[in-house]
A and B are shown apart, each in its own frame.
Chain A
Amino acid sequence: MMDTSTTTHLKRDRVRDSLFRGATRLSAATVFGLVMAIVIALAFGASLAFQKFGAGFLVSSEWNPVTEQFGAAAPIYGTLVTSAIAMLIGIPLSFGVALFITELSPVWLKRPIGTAVELLAAIPSIIYGMWGLFIFAPWFADNLQPWIQDKTGSLPGLRALFQGPPMGIGMFTAGLILAIMVIPYITAVIRDVFTIVPTELRESAYGLGATTWEVVWHVILPYTRIGVVGGIMLGLGRALGETMAVTFVIGNAQRISSSLFMPGNTISSALANEFTEAVGDTYTSSLLALGLILFMITFVVLAIARLLLGRIGGRI
């Protein structure tokens, strides 16, 4: 009697075990399937545009819904330029913040400042966009833009970069707001990798009489270089795909201008503005092709970030 009930128990548990294991495996496979479905759906939708325009789609800057001629050069250019600005401004800032939190801040201040910086990531991008358009852009146009133009006006190379009416909106403003948005992401990774540096390394450098800066620059940074670059890549991925904040402030013009103060476009802002209004298969397909290109770019950037961060993870 006892024996049979134990066997049925065991049997039932074995069935439940395999059911549970199957459910988890199915869920994991679903995640994989979803990402594959995204790639396939985008590639399928984009195929018409690629058939029609071929590789020229990537280099043509024409974007004309009336004649149905489309090229992705302008939005790709805008995406890369705004992200580059975001990185140029965001990396030093993030590095400074991480340095402050890990090396300088008194212990009681670490947590509140760390949390505050992380809250920058919690603010929805549409809020950045509203604030950027209604508050930051006018302030920027009144105070900073004339000053920048004044300072760079005598330098021929730079003048071209910063010319044009000070409107407040444009690619530079978009890049600047993206820089603020990526700070929490890059800072978080730099903080994490800074803390894995063995205390012995730090202390021996200090023991030799190094200043805090020398310890950071000559000991900590070389030790964590790969991880820092990985963090930067994660931030870059964010900047490349950011939509709403950019859509508010970039001005949405389908053209390539040499000046950073002129309105432009990014892949994501073009999608946000035009996707629901696109008429005709070619137009829609061209926008889907833009989406596929954006997905591919962020994929490559993420893969590099994972590779670098994975490598440093192995060293912990």
Chain B
Amino acid sequence: MSELLPGRTVESGTASGLPLRLAAPLSFWGGFDAENGLVIEQGHPDQGVSLQGRLLLMERAKGSSSSSSVLAEALRHGTGPCAMVMREADLIIALGAIVARELYGVVMPIVVVDADVWQQLCTVEGRLLVTALDDGSAWLSLPGPQVAL
């Protein structure tokens, strides 16, 4: 993948990290341990996996609106993902990132992509770079000299 994969900004910022694709939607409230950064939802296919510093691919959100608080708490602790890519924008997830930026200056960009881009992202190995601008444009790329930013 050498080209830039386009997306739409939900929350702006830049980040790079190893992609982690969740096999199922996760409710951060009740399903995620913000102190240790681990998925703790009983029976979730990724139970026990650490999200810390990962570029999280989660198709859609689910669960309680208190997930905003839990995500913001994880970003405060530094145990949350470095960025999120989703198929559908979600207000509850976005608010977690918006408030973490307001309170702590922690930036976790969120990008929404279409089905084609999602499929390509799911096959990527190695780190990915997320760039999400305030004007709404966003893209994902492999970091490295082949991409002039």
Please indicate whether A and B come from the same complex rather than being unrelated chains: no
* B interface residues with partner A (beta carbon < 8 Å): none
* A interface residues with partner B (beta carbon < 8 Å): none
